């Protein structure tokens, strides 16, 4: 079945007992055993819970992996995956990285002896020259957040396999509707499901999907041992959101493309970072490995003084951090999402004080454009007296 059908049908055929079309919330931590040595398949909900199990099976199916794991947040998913590594292990990681992932690696995992080097993961020479005898994995975000750098997943996964390195892809921005890294050779996919998968700015969740029996068993062990699992109510909310993923991603893409094109020709804007635009350096790779574009992009204003008044004058668009929901949100990465990345690294990548990140929502594109137009105009008026 096509992915649209599999999304719409999540959980709807999993409750033969009642025939519930919307899979129920099983709000129980413990499950009766029929007798000694027998089990219904469930014993304690940290290990396995009915509502979460339906979500996890759907995640594995959508990403074309062998096993899915639902976690209490995207960061919890990353923490569980990083726990595959031991003191002395080294990771190669995308340079323009989600700030929280950088913080987890540098301020937490480093204390446990797991180190990381941040490079352009699309550059095989850079990967090769930074690979050490203790390197165990490559962690890719593609496109990256906020600068939308694109990595050729198949190329990197093939390189990584030669050296027995795991390829881990954070697929939050494109979702399995547009991109399936496991089909391109990745071993592990992680998601902040709080973004497009949930899609309504109302549930915090993460997902891990693994390929291969051993890796799936190792992550299952860590998921249960660490315990950062998703509860039944949030599992249900996430499945409810995912049913409309296809429709939402198509609208996010259409709105974002229209607004990115408009900003690109705006005299106050210096540059727009969106892989759907033909002159984006990652355009061709993205087109080859993904079937569409995300709803988020970044743009750099010519004058840093316009940033504060733009954020003050937007009305429909909310000044808030997050992405992927129905509501349009504008973020200032240098002081919000990426504040934990040291300034020299931030500036080297291009996350400077003129950069805004825009998660384009599901409102009508005319209304979003009008709000942006009036905010930029008001900002220009203020700084020009």
CB 142 to ligand PLP: min, Å: 10
**Total chain residues near ligand PLP (CB under 6 A):** 15
**Which of the ranges 81-89, 189-197, 338-346, 374-382 carries the binding residues for ligand PLP, by CB under 6 A?**
189-197
**Bridge-based pairing state of the strands 115-119 and 67-71:** unpaired
Q: Is 274 a catalytic residue?
A: no
CB 85 to ligand PLP: min, Å: 18
Residue 87 contacts residue 76 (beta carbons within 8 Å): no
Which candidate, 303, 320, 284, places its Cα nearest to that of 376?
303
Q: Return the residue of 122, 145, 306, 359 that touches ligand PLP, per CB under 6 A.
A: 145
Q: Return the residue of 206, 275, 295, 361 that touches ligand PLP, per CB under 6 A.
A: 206
CB 219 to ligand PLP: min, Å: 17
Residue 59 contacts residue 70 (beta carbons within 8 Å): yes
**Applying CB under 6 A, does 141 fall inside the site for ligand PLP?**
yes
Q: Is 195 a catalytic residue?
A: yes
**Which among 6, 15, 46, 258 is annotated as catalytic?**
46
**Applying CB under 6 A, does 75 fall inside the site for ligand PLP?**
yes
Residue 194 vs 298, nearer CB to ligand PLP: 194
Beta-strand runs (E) in 161-261: 166-170, 188-192, 206-210
Contacts of residues 100-104 at CB distance under 8 Å and 24 or more positions apart, as own/partner, are 100/74, 100/75, 100/337, 100/340, 101/75, 101/139, 101/141, 101/170, 102/340, 102/341, 103/340, 104/75, 104/78, 104/79
Residue 145 vs 306, nearer CB to ligand PLP: 145
**Which of the ranges 52-60, 70-78, 108-116, 268-276 carries the binding residues for ligand PLP, by CB under 6 A?**
70-78
Q: Three-state DSSP class for 89?
A: coil
Burial label, 117 (beta-carbon count in 10 A; 0-12, 13-18, 19+): middle
**Which among 89, 152, 170, 371 is annotated as catalytic?**
170
Q: Return the residue of 11, 68, 74, 231 that touches ligand PLP, per CB under 6 A.
A: 74
CB 150 to ligand PLP: min, Å: 14
Say which residues have a Cβ less than 8 Å from residue 40's Cβ, sequence separation at least 6.
31, 32, 33, 34
Say which residues have a Cβ less than 8 Å from residue 137's Cβ, sequence separation at least 6.
84, 85, 91, 92, 160, 165, 166, 167, 168
Cα separation of 68 and 142, whole Å? 20
**Applying CB under 6 A, does 204 fall inside the site for ligand PLP?**
yes
C-alpha 195: how far from its chain's center? 7
Q: Is 170 a catalytic residue?
A: yes
Q: Return the residue of 89, 170, 187, 371 that touches ligand PLP, per CB under 6 A.
A: 170
**Which among 52, 180, 195, 346 is annotated as catalytic?**
195
Residue found under tokens 């992009």: 297
Q: Is 98 a catalytic residue?
A: yes
Residue 192 vs 286, nearer CB to ligand PLP: 192
Residue 53 vs 205, nearer CB to ligand PLP: 205
Q: Which helix (H) or strand (E) holds 96?
A: none
CA–CA distances in Å: residue 319 to residues 43, 104, 105, 314, 358: 44, 25, 28, 8, 10
**Applying CB under 6 A, does 100 fall inside the site for ligand PLP?**
yes
**Applying CB under 6 A, does 159 fall inside the site for ligand PLP?**
no
**Which of the ranges 5-13, 67-75, 153-161, 240-248 carries the binding residues for ligand PLP, by CB under 6 A?**
67-75
**Which among 48, 52, 89, 98 is annotated as catalytic?**
98
Say which residues have a Cβ less than 8 Å from residue 165's Cβ, sequence separation at least 6.
92, 131, 135, 136, 137, 138
**Applying CB under 6 A, does 152 fall inside the site for ligand PLP?**
no
**Applying CB under 6 A, does 253 fall inside the site for ligand PLP?**
no
Residue 194 vs 328, nearer CB to ligand PLP: 194
Half-sphere exposure of 360 (CA within 13 A, CB side): 31
**Applying CB under 6 A, does 226 fall inside the site for ligand PLP?**
no
Q: In the complex, which residues of this chain contact ligand PLP (CB under 6 A)? A: 73-75, 98, 100-101, 141, 145, 170, 172, 192, 194-195, 204, 206
Active site residues: 46, 98, 170, 195
């Amino acid at each position: 079945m096509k992915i649209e059908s599999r999304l719409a049908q999540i959980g709807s055929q999993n409750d033969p007992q009642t025939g519930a079309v919307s899979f129920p919330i099983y709000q129980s931590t413990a499950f009766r055993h029929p007798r000694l040595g027998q089990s219904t398949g469930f014993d304690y909900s940290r290990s396995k819970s009915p509502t979460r199990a339906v979500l996890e099976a759907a995640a594995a199916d959508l990403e074309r992996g062998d096993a899915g794991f639902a976690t209490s947040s995207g960061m919890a998913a990353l923490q569980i995956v990083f726990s595959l590594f031991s003191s002395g292990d080294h990771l190669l990681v995308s340079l323009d990285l989600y700030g929280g992932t950088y913080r987890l690696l540098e301020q937490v995992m480093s204390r446990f002896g797991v180190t990381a080097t941040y490079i352009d993961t699309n550059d095989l020479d850079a990967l090769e020259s930074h690979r050490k005898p203790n390197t165990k994995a490559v962690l890719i975000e593609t496109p990256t957040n906020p600068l939308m750098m694109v990595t050729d997943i198949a190329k990197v996964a093939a390189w990584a396999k030669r050296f027995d390195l795991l390829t881990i892809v954070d697929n939050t921005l494109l979702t399995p509707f547009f991109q399936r890294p496991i089909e391109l050779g990745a071993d592990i996919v992680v998601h902040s499901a709080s973004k497009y998968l949930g899609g309504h700015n109302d549930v915090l969740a993460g997902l891990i999907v693994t390929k291969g029996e051993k890796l799936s068993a190792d992550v299952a062990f860590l998921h249960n041992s660490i315990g950062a699992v998703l509860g039944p109510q949030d599992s249900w909310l996430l499945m409810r959101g995912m049913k409309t993923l296809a429709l939402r991603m198509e609208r996010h893409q259409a709105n974002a493309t229209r607004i990115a094109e408009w900003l690109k020709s705006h005299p106050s804007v210096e540059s727009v970072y969106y892989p759907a635009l033909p002159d984006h350096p990652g355009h061709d790779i993205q087109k080859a490995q993904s079937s569409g574009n995300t709803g988020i992009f970044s743009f750099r204003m010519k004058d840093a003084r316009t940033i504060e008044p733009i954020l003050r004058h937007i009305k429909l668009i909310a000044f808030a951090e997050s992405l992927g929901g129905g509501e349009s949100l504008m973020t200032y990465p240098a002081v919000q999402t990426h504040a934990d990345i040291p300034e020299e690294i931030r500036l080297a990548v291009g996350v400077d004080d003129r950069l805004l990140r825009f998660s384009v929502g599901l409102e009508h594109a005319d209304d979003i454009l009008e709000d942006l137009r009036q905010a930029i105009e008001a900002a220009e008026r203020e700084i020009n007296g």
